[in-house]
Structure 1
């Protein structure tokens, strides 16, 4: 396999996935914020809340369409750029994607039209149910995608079949309730809720600074402050659950995130700051909080967090075991009835993927030297400085959002919608949740390298047999297409925000005046 093709294929998938992920968090969060706003309308029967819901639904619709368009191309990439990956694990990985399309996406797509065009054709309660089903479909889509991704991080419920030379499902229940997938799902959707809250808060603050649509802005800001505070707290709490999942299922990723080169005495301390050195295999100028990492990752004072050096030695042992499995598999290819070979394979089958790491250095892993085995063992260590700093930047933004939403909730509670510095800050920080979400995605995917499927299939073996020129062509095409879509998205969003509510009556309500038979009256405070 040409490693240049592999790296370019990784780059292409990263570019398309990260672009698609710009739309996903806002869809997840804004859909449920629409449910909250419309619920208030149904309960209070106040026309202003109908106007508010319809305004934010228009922005949701623009984002939803672009999200669908960019998501479809990613599924084609599995066949285009990662054909061996699709062949090797398609029986397992394809199932959640198919269910996502059949159950979640069609649920979402079916009811999104009714949500937009059913305002005057459905009852208030029925339209609210439709809006809820759109939100449910959006979040179920994320669930099935993250079940598929969680299996890549922790391949439970599956087994390599030496007769078909492919991975196959043996326990779909385990795939479905994979602890890594469940932790990723709740953490990811909570981050989406934070993103939508910052989006609504920022636009509302912009309206208040300009003195436009103040009735809409004040009410939207209040909803965003409350929803955002709850969501930002849940992101941190559920992030702790993700850390706990890493301890059992992705020990190397956890050690790399903490730049922990040596196993510490339990309970390990959490590194706030440090300068990881890959060359020297140590972290300089560490500032640690005692015991915290051990408590987060093991839920105990006695549980141990293994360091990188010890995990590399363990990987070396697994590579040696994998070589035995690989040799036995080759013998089984020649003679399916070879009982000794089958017994050897069964004893070492869980380490077959580790032997595949050697294919980067030698065609037949059985011929690998001790130096090549050690080199492959060190390949199991992801880029430590990158994972170390990505986690700290992401976590720092998470705690910042808690403080910011707490302040927003206070100002909304005391009806202080005229604090200029806070409103300006709300507009300025709008890109930050997207930045945090992208860092989280890169951390999750980059942190499990060199694996496409953790412990099963190295990334470099999963790519298609393409040329460098072919991959560069598709990268250029996607870049041009996505740049055009980004331009369209921004133009449509800005136009919708400048225009405000669709009708004149809606704009009057959003501005705080209620049209009456005798003229105009101020909208009553809530």
Structure 2
């Protein structure tokens, strides 16, 4: 990545997004796990489930606060670093972004406050309703931002208006029900459930290894293993759906993920291992599994998956068509047709206007795309190829870890059914060591989704190089360093708070029983009774 204004703006957004995404998945998953635990408490009235709800809820609260703090900056970056992007697609992107803010900073935050301060002020059922509303609001907050992101991957329901020089929405329902957005939502949310499940599983395993809070740890592991197994399996299924949609809407991303330089006869093979070489435009030492990629990517034995070279040739054709659209647009602007566009010009623009974005790829090399040389068109066409090696390896790391999570959660699910969760200490150590792995998988998924979209900020519509603000390199570099320092500090603070809460363990619960004794959940998590102490 070049360290110019575009490269630095991309790096800054990537850094803040990756940091923010450290908190989001755990928040998504813990909100549901905590709601499940409190549901069991309300149904059974057993104090240990209340203790579990409050303990994991505390960890949720710490993570939620950090997620909000890191997410605010990202929303302001659209205006700071990507002002032309905001101008160009603000009519479409702004609505789901605003709804996400309303969900996260009003609805979600309100119910989070009621969750923590309503234990002794609300009835059990009312508090349970609040807890589920926290989970629902948290997940709906993710829905709206992923609808916005899905539109960036597959822009539907909007057209470019040459009079306003902006994309304008004409079908909001198409934006909401965009298949790419819906697939991204369920896949991302399921990944968050896996993150939280492995986290709860690992922390509970640590308690068992230390001989602390045994009853709480075993019950937490049972919930996490069951929920995590279902989530891990759903991630695989939903990830397959995302890959299938990429075949239809983002062919270059799929070819880059596979390091598939040339179109292969159907069904295409899956590259198990290889060393992609972007300069040589080939993959060295490739090991292929026949048919697998064709079945995954097309769900058929006869449909081809185009390779990078063929897609670049297609990009050259689209760039030339985009130049015709650019020429028609310039003539429209020259006529200064504020109220109406002459029919001949409107017809010319209509024919190729959907490919205007491809002409804008030439802005990196020439001010007027109509003056581009064949060499510059060829260079711009090859710019449509994202960085292959990071995509290739990020995808494979994500897949391998996904398979591991299925095995891990299935193992503890079986042990839970047999009531032998603490029978194999080495498995408990594996669970503890696995705690950071879901975050690695989630970040790899983010890299595949976002790096695979380059060089587009809006797929096929607006190149990233055109979307940036007119800022100085020094300004962006200074804010990049400042954000990196701030976010690193927040990450350290969160880890210290989380570790402190985990080491401290759950609070002792003192609940009056009808018989006059006070059931006390002691340090070991076992239920015992003590004489009732007079309030006097």
TM tier, smaller: over 0.9
How big is each residue's C-alpha offset from its partner over 1:186-224, in whole Å with a ceiling of 9 and x where there is no partner?
A: 110111000000110111011111101111111101111
Partner of 1:366: 370
SS in structure 1 of the partner of residue 362 of structure 2 = helix
How big is each residue's C-alpha offset from its partner over 1:468-494, in whole Å with a ceiling of 9 and x where there is no partner?
A: 111121112212211221222112111
Name whichever of 500-509 and 200-209 sits farther off: 500-509
Matches within 5 A, 1:208-357: 208-335=208-335, 336=337, 337-357=341-361
How big is each residue's C-alpha offset from its partner over 1:340-361, in whole Å with a ceiling of 9 and x where there is no partner?
A: 3221111000110000000111
SS in structure 2 of the partner of residue 401 of structure 1 = helix
Matches within 5 A, 1:16-165: 16-103=16-103, 105-165=105-165
Contact 2:25-2:193 within 8 A present in 1 as well: yes
Q: Using the alignment, how far apart are the partners of 2:523 and 2:128 within structure 1?
A: 21
Using the TM superposition, give the Cα deviation of residue 502 of structure 1 relative to its aligned residue in structure 2, in angstroms.
2.3
How big is each residue's C-alpha offset from its partner over 1:46-79, in whole Å with a ceiling of 9 and x where there is no partner?
A: 1110111111000000000110011001101111
Using the TM superposition, give the Cα deviation of residue 338 of structure 1 relative to its aligned residue in structure 2, in angstroms.
3.8
Contact 1:51-1:510 within 8 A present in 2 as well: no
Match of 1:485 among 490, 493, 497: 490
Gaps of 5+ in 2: 512-519
SS in structure 1 of the partner of residue 262 of structure 2 = coil
SS in structure 2 of the partner of residue 300 of structure 1 = coil
Task: Give the number of equivalent residue pairs.
Answer: 518
Contact 2:51-2:508 within 8 A present in 1 as well: no
How big is each residue's C-alpha offset from its partner over 1:380-406, in whole Å with a ceiling of 9 and x where there is no partner?
A: 001111111110111111011111111
Using the TM superposition, give the Cα deviation of residue 104 of structure 1 relative to its aligned residue in structure 2, in angstroms.
5.4
Q: Using the alignment, how far apart are the partners of 1:504 and 1:268 within structure 2?
A: 59
Partner of 2:401: 397
Q: Using the alignment, how far apart are the partners of 2:453 and 2:461 within structure 1?
A: 12
Cα pair distance change 1:280/1:476, threshold 3 Å: closer
Using the TM superposition, give the Cα deviation of residue 103 of structure 1 relative to its aligned residue in structure 2, in angstroms.
4.2
Q: TM-score, normalised by structure 1?
A: 0.96
Contact 1:208-1:418 within 8 A present in 2 as well: no
Q: Using the alignment, how far apart are the partners of 1:304 and 1:167 within structure 2?
A: 33
Contact 2:261-2:308 within 8 A present in 1 as well: yes
Q: Using the alignment, how far apart are the partners of 1:203 and 1:423 within structure 2?
A: 10
Partner of 2:410: 406
Partner of 1:431: 436
Using the TM superposition, give the Cα deviation of residue 286 of structure 1 relative to its aligned residue in structure 2, in angstroms.
2.3
Matches within 5 A, 1:197-216: 197-216=197-216
Match of 2:461 among 445, 456, 459: 456
SS in structure 2 of the partner of residue 362 of structure 1 = coil
Partner of 1:189: 189
Using the TM superposition, give the Cα deviation of residue 513 of structure 1 relative to its aligned residue in structure 2, in angstroms.
2.6
Contact 2:41-2:47 within 8 A present in 1 as well: yes
Match of 2:451 among 446, 455, 466: 446
CA RMSD of aligned residues (A): 1.5
Q: TM-score, normalised by structure 2?
A: 0.94
Q: Using the alignment, how far apart are the partners of 2:32 and 2:319 within structure 1?
A: 47
Contact 1:274-1:286 within 8 A present in 2 as well: yes
Gaps of 5+ in 1: 520-526
Matches within 5 A, 1:164-179: 164-179=164-179
